[in-house]
Amino acid sequence: MNATPHPSAWGLLPEEWKPLCKELGLPSFRATQIVTGLYQTFALSWNDITTLPVELREQLSQTIDLTPLEIAHIQHAGDDVRKLLLRCQDGACIETVMIPSKGRLTQCISSQVGCNFRCAFCASGQRGCVRSLTAGEIVGQVMAACQLMRADQQAAGVPATGGTPSRTPGAKPTLPRPGNIVVMGMGEPFDNYDNVLRALRILNDQKGINIGARHITISTCGVVPGIQRLAEEGVQFELSVSLHAPNDELRNQLMPVNRRWPVAELIATCRDYFEKTGRIVTFEYTLVKDFNDRLQHADALIRLLRGMPCKVNLIPLSPVDGFDGTPPLERDSLAFLDRLLKAKLATTLRKSRGKEVDAACGQLRLRTLT
Ligand code: SF4
């Protein structure tokens, strides 16, 4: 299914505008004006790029799509977390979550409408995958967040500059944008590999949205071929793997993907990934009371990851409709953390944020569908 009738302006890499302008018979400086308009002033229509002649704006609007994703709903949580329900042009709804922390904004973005991987505690997988997002729609989620950040600044009376500083020395101040991106929303990024990588390159490009590669994280449920492919890509993005259990018996119950790529194969691939890239993998481990939160599970995890430079992120379960697991007791989470730290595994215990906004992926969309 085509999401938009024309190619999306946000799905093009900044470097692709020059050849495209040439194809359209335009001088190359038009490409510079377009890229500046898109990413420095966050144009939301061709008419917003006033450096372009009116006739050219009209011509571009007939050939290249520049329609923002519609912000259909904003759900707020007490701790400034905002979850946006965004509507694509074909009516499909996707989610993105904006999480402020320590003066930076982390944005969790989606890669697909729904998901095929059906992890037990995730609302996104409950209805399968409708379609993959285009690169333009993935970037469009960040543009929607930028739009809101700009509106926040204007409401606070801050001049329309500032935000995350530009990485280009001497560059003019830029409009606000998220400091970190995590591809951890709806969908499995490696099930939409090409579009996700293209979108992340646009977000990372200094002439694009200019978010540092080390502030961009791809999170997979354990799609081994995707990890292998990423290892050959030569990019600096961070990789996070949803592990959630230290053995096949438990992981099979939580994540059907484990039947295809079991724990031993997944961990061996992560070890290879580190060997090839020198980049540390983060393992996400959601603690579920009396299921995977016992000290024997911590010990099994320690044995599994022994000798591999990596990080472990412990996340107390957020209640989700359709999954009957319960959040762990705080003292058990702390004991689990302590066991891993004593074994010299770099481990953090994450505060689960955004429960009030159904921030476990897919829940907002699921509620609007039911
Ligand atoms: S956790 Fe991720 S991979 Fe698993 S069903 Fe949800 S969106 Fe899909």
358 lines ligand 1 (CB under 6 A): no
- Nearest atom in ligand 1 to the alpha carbon of residue 116 is 8
pLDDT the model gives residue 161: 47
* pTM recorded for the entire structure: 0.90
**Which phi and psi (to 5°) does residue 204 adopt?**
-80, -25
pLDDT the model gives residue 102: 81
> How far is Cα 370 from Cα 367, in angstroms, rounded to an integer?
5
User: Of the residues 88, 93, 95, 284, which is catalytic?
Assistant: 95
> How far is Cα 270 from Cα 215, in angstroms, rounded to an integer?
20
pLDDT means per 10 residues, the chain with 370 residues, are 70 96 95 94 92 96 94 86 95 94 91 94 83 97 92 78 46 73 95 98 94 96 98 96 97 96 98 97 96 98 97 90 89 98 96 49 45
Q: How many residues are there in the chain?
A: 370
Dist. CA 105 → ligand 1 center (Å): 23
187 lines ligand 1 (CB under 6 A): yes
pLDDT the model gives residue 93: 95
Domain ranges of the chain: 9-63, 70-369
Dist. CA 125 → ligand 1 center (Å): 6
Instruction: Check for a shared fold between 9-63 and 70-369.
Output: no
**CB-based burial, 4-15: b 16+ in 10 Å, e otherwise:** beeebbbbbebe
**CATH, range 9-63:** 1.10.150.530
Out of 221, 241, 284, 315, mutate this one to test ligand 1's pocket (max ligand atoms within 8 Å of CB): namely 221
pLDDT the model gives residue 153: 84
pLDDT the model gives residue 101: 83
> How far is Cα 360 from Cα 7, in angstroms, rounded to an integer?
31
- Nearest atom in ligand 1 to the alpha carbon of residue 255 is 4
pLDDT the model gives residue 302: 98
pLDDT the model gives residue 318: 83
Q: Which of 357, 364, 339 has the alpha carbon at shortest distance from 95?
A: 364
124 lines ligand 1 (CB under 6 A): yes
pLDDT the model gives residue 172: 47
Fold that domain 70-369 belongs to in CATH = TIM Barrel (3.20.20)
Q: Beta partners for 112?
A: 132
pLDDT the model gives residue 359: 41
